Structure 1
């Protein structure tokens, strides 16, 4: 079997009605002239092939121009990427949105997570120097795949998307619905990262990119380098292909936050915090990534591949924490927000107020490697077999020393205004650190490891006599996954001289004291004394000696240990169907996936003050049906309906039977954390119904109505538990009763080729998402999903003409609750609307060399959240604004 055709009947259409509709739309200016030509059957120049070697419908080659020769329109560059992504969406049986590389390494974003923010229904949050938190339709439960396979980082279930540089990508697919032939595991959707392979290119291909990026908060300029070389050869033993890719990124970043403590009940009915502080987080992240691929096609019926990808991250970071107590109940001068009993300002001279500064040093190392091999065999013209074997290993190490220092400030003044907490110390220079002494030391460290082996076999059969059934497919998958984790005993030790005449002043320790980075915003004091992160990381043994009298590291905590051995066996069957419904061609698929999961959970518990090993074995089987139907009213107009069931397994740490307790400190409550071996997988019944109009190869309007019904959704809850006479707020995960999410997505994209002259280079992408729904709590109350915005949209302006191309992207999402019952209080953390503006401009210096200037967070966005009501501020955060300059070469 050389190529299995789709087996779909050609859609019926009414030529006269279609031409009349096109004429009206063209006259109204909705469609470009190129759109009209395409609707009337004008040829479009074909070009690049997909990874299977077949040109997708409407696909074109890569380049940087639009040319018209007679009746043939050649579309290239950004238009080519838009066309290929649109064709993939139009012809896929599932609800999917894609981004296709318009050229090797030309994605303007640095990693996969940042790109996802441009896709309909997807939102991201940038912090610690890059985008990392990704939600689909307000939900975090997405499974991430690499070339259709599971990949993960240490003990997490999914690939950390920020670890994959964009220079390795050929396409990025976000499935809102999940077919039975996909690896199970995501209730919100599936993110499939597709990398380049040598048979994707016609022959020898090489590219090289060098980029420098400046970040304003960290005042750093860092390099990014990537390269790829690929070739294919025809020999007496068949065709061979080889590809090598490499990427290096360094990023020094600076995040800042000015925060306000949890509101408390103060005298005379006043409500307000007892603390105001700062959090300054900075780091130096170095990321290496490399991949290699071999392909062999001995004949037209067989193709074999082997590939490996490796990522390594070295990350030194620090969080500088400042806490200033307010002079409550000390006869201070107090003012309230007009018309409320909320604290607005407080000041006191001679307060002699307790003040804390802290540095958390972090030295992290992680490495993940995946090797895979597989083959495709066309047994005959009707049967195709595919198999794949993959091995993944991942390690993570963390060193995290923390030192607290304390001082007493004579005068203090604090205020809360416009969502910002401000604190000053009149008449004193806090930056000298002359009145701060050593108070507390935390000796924290840990390591995680994960590994997996999985194998799958798939078969596709096309019957000789096609009727209602057009194609049958099925397959099996067997996987074994192991995850282990342990960290040092948590908690702190006080310095022997703290709060005594023998206290050790920080200025007496050479090299120990630094100043925090200066805040970009005006929140009172701009800097404060801190323990130097470099000192903490490089002199940890000296700190242990100073605080504990020994250089021996804090021992590992047996209660933090867990190991999870998880085995899954999956089998699926699917039938592709096609029929006419009232003269409208309908095609699609019906399938079922069955997954059996066996878990061997191991950990430790504390019984009668003794550590006792604990183990639990669980077994369960999930049945995941899926129905996907498409009605094709015309060549350019179709409706789609999908319904299916999906599951999401809890994180490995959530199963941990052990209990870890944290004693109360000056700045922390007595808390505990534990897992729940009895957790059930989250179940979701998902429905999508869409109407899609593809009025041009690079023009479309689509709308989707969706619904997710959840069962066993997982939330963490803190409840009081008493151990040895001490009450702790212990956090455990649990399954909620049910939940529901509904919403609408709309998207529009088009290039305005009919405009005169240079204006013909403009194009627009716009998409918006509305969601509502939530989880039913045990008391019957329905809370919206944490992290879910009701409204979100992206507006992207595109330009491409001649040697110039550009993109300006504006993203916005409405307010959302980030955490309910924050720190076991009566308040929820609510985040104000988030927005960002990014842009890039590229100019081709020569046929092979291009120059790109890009920027992110150009409006210097400020993240704000509050405790349930805006007058009770929580914090304001600011992140780096970046400007990058890149030089790219491609043969």
Structure 2
């Protein structure tokens, strides 16, 4: 038999078990120690099955391994496994997760970044089962992990008692390779170049991994080193409408945007990453390891804003969108509308490093003990100058919705002439953050080796200490003083805006050069009456927090038979005590001045998190599951900051606003139930359905509300707990390779999944939606693999969702239209060691649209790069 699947020859039960063991071992789900326990059984089968051994490679092997992980897991899980060492269909972890049922991603600023599970952001991301606490967040930023380092990615929809707490939505565990994952020497090198159509760049990327293992009197040792470099330029463009407002002078109530505008994003991101691992097995009972991971990101960007004030007045002429009271077109003559050009130029640098070492000791046939100690350090800094220009065209003509967005022109006025502009507000912004964590755990497992009810008992302890600090500048906004020079008189200051991909009226304008701003910051400070050097830190932004957690868990595995149906299950509880020490500043108004007052807040909570799983083998190929448990999610450290930073606004560009934290936040509690039915009709064929329900308490949202402080009305954003909420839905998934088809047709395969969700949050009798939750979402991936050729065509769709609840405190939600994404790739293997891949991201040149409450009040239309990548991979 040469193929796998549902052909005429059906794999035997023994062969299926052998394939599952091999797939799990290859994917790393079984450690070498657990494979030892099955050595005798597998060896006995080898002779009997030698004539029918199935060999699968590439895409099929990855699908088979992922399916075996899902089938054998106690939890509800979906996995993505490398086709070969370090070979995945996408270039970072966030992008490949977009193929998983129940997972949605958002792509902007040149890459996929934001990941939600079942519409929820409350997930914990782990690296090799451990937290990577960063300076700004509790979790690993998934886009920072190049896929060339990976062995697999596991997406847990439910949590076991032994798993690190923190994910009410789920857990994403990113697994990097170790040297014992390979039979011996292994190495691969990959080079790639990306062409991006809107940024008009060709960017290089390179990565490589080398691994080996040796045997001797010392036992067996292995070493692995991986390096990766990625450079990516990007160009995103946005045209926008401001929220609808009443049109002055209208005979009847008429609404229209007060402003229209453009935002052009250009950035360059350089990401360097490395991972290493060392394993030593002095004997069959003991294994020790040390491993680490580091990444550095240098991200320089500029955002060119243009704001067109529509200058509504009694002599403004306008038309309405048919059937509405909303403005469609307008023309205002001799109105001197507020017209602003601005360059925002953030430069970000960040580093994260993690090291860990541990051991696994098989004490005897019944007991196994594991332990691990990890240390993480991270730092981030940002310089973020903003400089505004004003101009005064006498006439403006606009359309609120043309080519999908706002359209405006200035008849008879040269917007490309620097002489028509003057310097306006200057923002001298900077921020930095640091984070450290120490994490130690020990686990013990007792396996009685019997066929009785009790199959396994495990328990363990984890201690973790996390520290974080953050600060930003004080009074970074500087209004324009009198006597500023003309922009055209400053050599190198004025640039023409970037080219736009579509026609929205104004095609180009004058804007400050980002390179000039960074090179001449002290000169700009001098022009605006500030001393040289960065300004002092805002005390209300400063916080230093420490969080200590101690956790104990116990878990048992059991099994029994009901009516001839085998049932496996687990029951466990995790008890976590959290102690939080928050230090920051609040404020007291004295004689009209807000003075900082130091605040220290210490809190502690103890949470018990029970978990139960049941898995029934209804038939040889059908698995039924029930999973129920409780989870908690702690808010981000910045959310606890007791300070509030107030911005007085002014200059026509910024309204009075504020941003603050809430030291009294409670952790989010989630009670989760999943019921699943899974049919595995072939080694790479399955049909699964999962019903889920999440009930929440103390769910945290960030929202904007107006607050009056010392007589001034500020729009302040801060986090707060909601009283309750629920989310429920269903996930359906299908996978199959059509090996039973004749000839070249048996190379085809299909993966498809669909998720339906509905949910709500409640607080004081008021319901609000979950942000980022699409009611409907699906993925379809067409696969092909035969001979040296393999390829895939992937299409992702998600329905509309709420981006921001109660947008700007105006009483309506900001809603995002359905998002559609298509990607494709094709690979040709020149020989067993060399392969070439051509891939296209954003095949259909997707557009992102959102609107203010109703579709006829649009906000943004966004366009992104189409990326064509060509890579060559050499594996030794």
Same fold (TM over 0.5): yes
Q: Distance in 2 between matches of 1:247 and 1:527?
A: 38
Q: What residue is the counterpart of 1:452 in the other structure?
A: 437
Identify which of 572, 579, 588 aligns with 1:598: 579
Does the Cα contact within 8 Å between 2:27 and 2:151 map onto a contact in 1? Answer: no
Partner deviation per Cα, 1:590-629 (whole Å, 9 max, x = no partner): 0000000001100012223322111000000010000011
Q: What residue is the counterpart of 2:416 in the other structure?
A: 431
Residue 663 of structure 1 pairs with residue 644 of structure 2: no
Q: Report the alpha carbon displacement of residue 69 of structure 1 after superposing the two structures with TM.
A: 9.4
Partner deviation per Cα, 1:12-69 (whole Å, 9 max, x = no partner): xxxxxxxxxxxxxxxxxx973067345796897757634312669999xxxxxxxx99
Tell which deviates more after alignment, 482-491 or 545-554: 545-554
Residue 204 of structure 1 pairs with residue 188 of structure 2: no
Q: What residue is the counterpart of 1:416 in the other structure?
A: 400
Q: What residue is the counterpart of 2:382 in the other structure?
A: 398
- Consecutive unaligned residues of structure 2, counting only runs of 5 or more, are 40-48
Determine helix, strand or coil for the equivalent of 2:94: helix
- Consecutive unaligned residues of structure 1, counting only runs of 5 or more, are 1-29, 60-67
Q: Report the alpha carbon displacement of residue 717 of structure 1 after superposing the two structures with TM.
A: 3.1
Identify which of 9, 29, 49 aligns with 2:26: 49
Q: What residue is the counterpart of 1:295 in the other structure?
A: 279
Q: What residue is the counterpart of 2:43 in the other structure?
A: none
Tell which deviates more after alignment, 720-729 or 810-819: 720-729
Determine helix, strand or coil for the equivalent of 1:430: coil
Q: What residue is the counterpart of 1:311 in the other structure?
A: 295
Residue 574 of structure 1 pairs with residue 548 of structure 2: no
Q: Distance in 2 between matches of 1:382 and 1:453?
A: 31
Identify which of 878, 885, 890 aligns with 2:863: 878
Does the Cα contact within 8 Å between 1:56 and 1:87 map onto a contact in 2? Answer: no
Matches within 5 A, 1:582-661: 582-607=563-588, 608=590, 609-661=594-646
Q: Cα–Cα, structure 1 residues 691 and 58, in superposed 2: closer, same or farther, change >3 Å?
A: farther
Q: What residue is the counterpart of 1:469 in the other structure?
A: 454
Residue 279 of structure 1 pairs with residue 256 of structure 2: no
Q: Distance in 2 between matches of 1:145 and 1:224?
A: 25
Q: Distance in 2 between matches of 1:849 and 1:716?
A: 50
Q: Distance in 2 between matches of 1:560 and 1:849?
A: 53
Q: Report the alpha carbon displacement of residue 490 of structure 1 after superposing the two structures with TM.
A: 3.9
Does the Cα contact within 8 Å between 1:42 and 1:72 map onto a contact in 2? Answer: no
Tell which deviates more after alignment, 519-528 or 291-300: 519-528
Does the Cα contact within 8 Å between 1:544 and 1:553 map onto a contact in 2? Answer: no
Figure out how many residues of one structure are paired with residues of the other and give that number.
Answer: 849
Does the Cα contact within 8 Å between 2:705 and 2:808 map onto a contact in 1? Answer: no
Does the Cα contact within 8 Å between 1:454 and 1:480 map onto a contact in 2? Answer: yes
Q: Distance in 1 between matches of 2:146 and 2:492?
A: 37
Determine helix, strand or coil for the equivalent of 1:83: helix
Q: Cα–Cα, structure 1 residues 797 and 115, in superposed 2: closer, same or farther, change >3 Å?
A: same
Q: What residue is the counterpart of 2:7 in the other structure?
A: 33
Q: Report the alpha carbon displacement of residue 446 of structure 1 after superposing the two structures with TM.
A: 1.1
Q: Distance in 1 between matches of 2:36 and 2:136?
A: 37
Q: What residue is the counterpart of 1:562 in the other structure?
A: 543
Q: Report the alpha carbon displacement of residue 580 of structure 1 after superposing the two structures with TM.
A: 1.0
Q: Report the alpha carbon displacement of residue 633 of structure 1 after superposing the two structures with TM.
A: 1.2
Does the Cα contact within 8 Å between 1:346 and 1:413 map onto a contact in 2? Answer: yes
Identify which of 352, 365, 370 aligns with 1:386: 370
Partner deviation per Cα, 1:154-210 (whole Å, 9 max, x = no partner): 131100000010000000000000101000001000000000000000000000000
Does the Cα contact within 8 Å between 2:93 and 2:143 map onto a contact in 1? Answer: yes
Q: Report the alpha carbon displacement of residue 296 of structure 1 after superposing the two structures with TM.
A: 0.1
Determine helix, strand or coil for the equivalent of 1:758: helix
Q: Report the alpha carbon displacement of residue 549 of structure 1 after superposing the two structures with TM.
A: 4.5
Tell which deviates more after alignment, 198-207 or 323-332: 323-332
Q: What residue is the counterpart of 1:3 in the other structure?
A: none
Does the Cα contact within 8 Å between 1:772 and 1:784 map onto a contact in 2? Answer: no
Q: Report the alpha carbon displacement of residue 409 of structure 1 after superposing the two structures with TM.
A: 0.6
Q: What residue is the counterpart of 2:311 in the other structure?
A: 327
Matches within 5 A, 1:303-382: 303-382=287-366
Q: What residue is the counterpart of 2:664 in the other structure?
A: 678
Q: Distance in 2 between matches of 1:563 and 1:43?
A: 53
Q: What residue is the counterpart of 1:709 in the other structure?
A: 695
Q: Report the alpha carbon displacement of residue 286 of structure 1 after superposing the two structures with TM.
A: 0.3
Q: Report the alpha carbon displacement of residue 235 of structure 1 after superposing the two structures with TM.
A: 1.4
Q: Distance in 1 between matches of 2:785 and 2:530?
A: 67
Q: What residue is the counterpart of 1:810 in the other structure?
A: 795
TM-score (norm 2): 0.95
Q: Distance in 1 between matches of 2:712 and 2:863?
A: 39
Q: What residue is the counterpart of 1:260 in the other structure?
A: 241
Q: Report the alpha carbon displacement of residue 817 of structure 1 after superposing the two structures with TM.
A: 1.0
Q: Cα–Cα, structure 1 residues 520 and 34, in superposed 2: closer, same or farther, change >3 Å?
A: farther
Q: Distance in 2 between matches of 1:728 and 1:178?
A: 41
Q: What residue is the counterpart of 2:742 in the other structure?
A: 756
Q: Distance in 1 between matches of 2:816 and 2:187?
A: 45
Tell which deviates more after alignment, 656-665 or 158-167: 656-665
Q: Distance in 2 between matches of 1:374 and 1:118?
A: 33
Partner deviation per Cα, 1:781-812 (whole Å, 9 max, x = no partner): 32221110000000000000000000110000
Q: Report the alpha carbon displacement of residue 330 of structure 1 after superposing the two structures with TM.
A: 4.7
Q: Distance in 1 between matches of 2:860 and 2:37?
A: 50
Residue 407 of structure 1 pairs with residue 391 of structure 2: yes
Partner deviation per Cα, 1:654-694 (whole Å, 9 max, x = no partner): 10001110112212221111111110000000000000000
Identify which of 820, 824, 832 aligns with 1:839: 824
Q: What residue is the counterpart of 1:731 in the other structure?
A: 717
Give RMSD over aligned pairs.
1.9
Identify which of 98, 117, 141 aligns with 2:79: 98
Q: Distance in 1 between matches of 2:790 and 2:208?
A: 22
Q: Report the alpha carbon displacement of residue 847 of structure 1 after superposing the two structures with TM.
A: 1.7
Does the Cα contact within 8 Å between 1:43 and 1:71 map onto a contact in 2? Answer: no
Q: Distance in 2 between matches of 1:766 and 1:726?
A: 54
TM-score (norm 1): 0.93
Q: What residue is the counterpart of 2:45 in the other structure?
A: none
Q: Distance in 1 between matches of 2:379 and 2:17?
A: 52
Determine helix, strand or coil for the equivalent of 1:467: coil
Q: Distance in 1 between matches of 2:280 and 2:69?
A: 26
Partner deviation per Cα, 1:740-783 (whole Å, 9 max, x = no partner): 000000000000011111111000000000000110133x2322
Determine helix, strand or coil for the equivalent of 1:543: helix
Does the Cα contact within 8 Å between 2:153 and 2:175 map onto a contact in 1? Answer: yes
Tell which deviates more after alignment, 123-132 or 512-521: 512-521
Q: Report the alpha carbon displacement of residue 540 of structure 1 after superposing the two structures with TM.
A: 1.0
Q: Distance in 2 between matches of 1:163 and 1:40?
A: 41
Q: Report the alpha carbon displacement of residue 480 of structure 1 after superposing the two structures with TM.
A: 0.4
Does the Cα contact within 8 Å between 2:487 and 2:494 map onto a contact in 1? Answer: yes
Partner deviation per Cα, 1:284-341 (whole Å, 9 max, x = no partner): 1000000111000000000000011000001111111110000301512110111111
Q: Report the alpha carbon displacement of residue 634 of structure 1 after superposing the two structures with TM.
A: 1.6
Matches within 5 A, 1:66-215: 71-215=52-196
Q: What residue is the counterpart of 1:14 in the other structure?
A: none
Identify which of 846, 870, 873 aligns with 1:888: 873
Q: Distance in 1 between matches of 2:622 and 2:57?
A: 24
Q: What residue is the counterpart of 2:707 in the other structure?
A: 721
Q: Cα–Cα, structure 1 residues 243 and 464, in superposed 2: closer, same or farther, change >3 Å?
A: closer
Q: What residue is the counterpart of 1:487 in the other structure?
A: 472
Q: Report the alpha carbon displacement of residue 724 of structure 1 after superposing the two structures with TM.
A: 2.9
Does the Cα contact within 8 Å between 1:709 and 1:741 map onto a contact in 2? Answer: yes
Q: What residue is the counterpart of 1:21 in the other structure?
A: none
